[in-house]
C-alpha cells in the first residue's frame, strides 16, 4: 500500500526480500549483505548497510524505491498493466506472423526480437 510519506525503513519492511536482493545484486551493491539471514521485521542491518553506500548509489536506489512504492496500490498496478498492455500491443503489431506474435508473447526476448521474426520459413 502506497503511503503519503515515503520511509526507507518501511519500504524495506514491505518489499519482498528476494526482490530487494535481486535489485542490489543486479546493481552490484551490498554484495556482502546476508540476504538469506535477513529477517524482514528487523530492517536495521539492511538499512545500515544501505546507508553506507556511496551517495550516488543511495540516491539512485531511493528514487527507484520511491517510484516502486508510489505504484504499490491498486491504482498504481492498474497504471502498470495499462502501460504493459500498450507496450505489448506495439511489439506484437510490428510482427506479421501469428506464430511470431504468440511466440514473442510466450517467450519474450529482451531488447526486442533478434533476427527477422517476420521471416517466412517457406512452410505452408
With a cut of 50, say whether residue 123 has pLDDT above it: no
pLDDT of residue 100: 87
| Side-chain-side CA neighbours of residue 95 (13 Å) | 24
With a cut of 80, say whether residue 56 has pLDDT above it: yes
Q: Compute how many other C-beta atoms are within 10 angstroms of the C-beta atom of residue 58.
A: 15
For the residues 107-116, what does the mean pLDDT come to?
Answer: 57
Residues 22 and 65 in one domain: yes
Asked whether residue 1 is domain-assigned, the answer is: no
* DSSP, residue by residue, 53-108: S-HHHHHHHHHHHHHHHHH-SHHHHHHHHHHHHHHHHHHHHT---HHHHHHHHHS-
Q: Are 68 and 79 in contact (CB under 8 A)?
A: no
Q: What percent of the chain has pLDDT over 70?
A: 83
Residues 68 and 84 in one domain: no
pLDDT of residue 124: 42
- For residue 4, the 8-state DSSP code is S
Q: How many helices (H) and strands (E) does the chain have?
A: 6, 0
With a cut of 90, say whether residue 117 has pLDDT above it: no
Q: Which three cell numbers stand for residue 18?
A: 528476494
Task: Measure the CA–CA gap between 103 and 18, rounded to whole angstroms.
Answer: 28
- Which is more confidently placed, 124 or 97? 97
pLDDT of residue 102: 85
Domain span at residue 51 reads 8-72
Asked whether residue 124 is domain-assigned, the answer is: no
- Count of structural domains, the chain: 2
Residues 85 and 68 in one domain: no
Residues 86 and 58 in one domain: no
Amino acid at each position: 500500500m502506497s503511503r503519503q510519506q515515503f520511509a526507507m525503513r518501511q519500504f524495506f519492511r514491505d518489499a519482498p526480500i528476494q526482490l530487494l536482493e535481486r535489485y542490489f545484486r543486479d546493481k552490484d551493491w551490498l554484495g556482502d549483505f546476508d540476504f538469506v539471514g535477513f529477517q524482514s521485521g528487523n530492517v536495521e542491518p539492511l538499512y545500515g548497510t544501505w546507508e553506507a553506500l556511496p551517495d550516488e548509489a543511495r540516491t539512485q536506489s531511493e528514487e527507484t524505491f520511491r517510484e516502486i512504492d508510489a505504484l504499490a496500490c491498486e491504482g498504481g498496478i492498474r497504471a502498470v498493466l495499462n502501460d504493459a498492455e500498450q507496450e505489448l500491443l506495439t511489439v506484437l503489431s510490428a510482427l506479421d506472423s501469428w506464430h511470431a506474435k504468440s511466440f514473442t508473447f510466450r517467450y519474450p526476448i529482451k531488447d526486442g526480437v533478434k533476427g527477422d521474426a517476420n521471416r517466412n520459413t517457406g512452410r505452408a
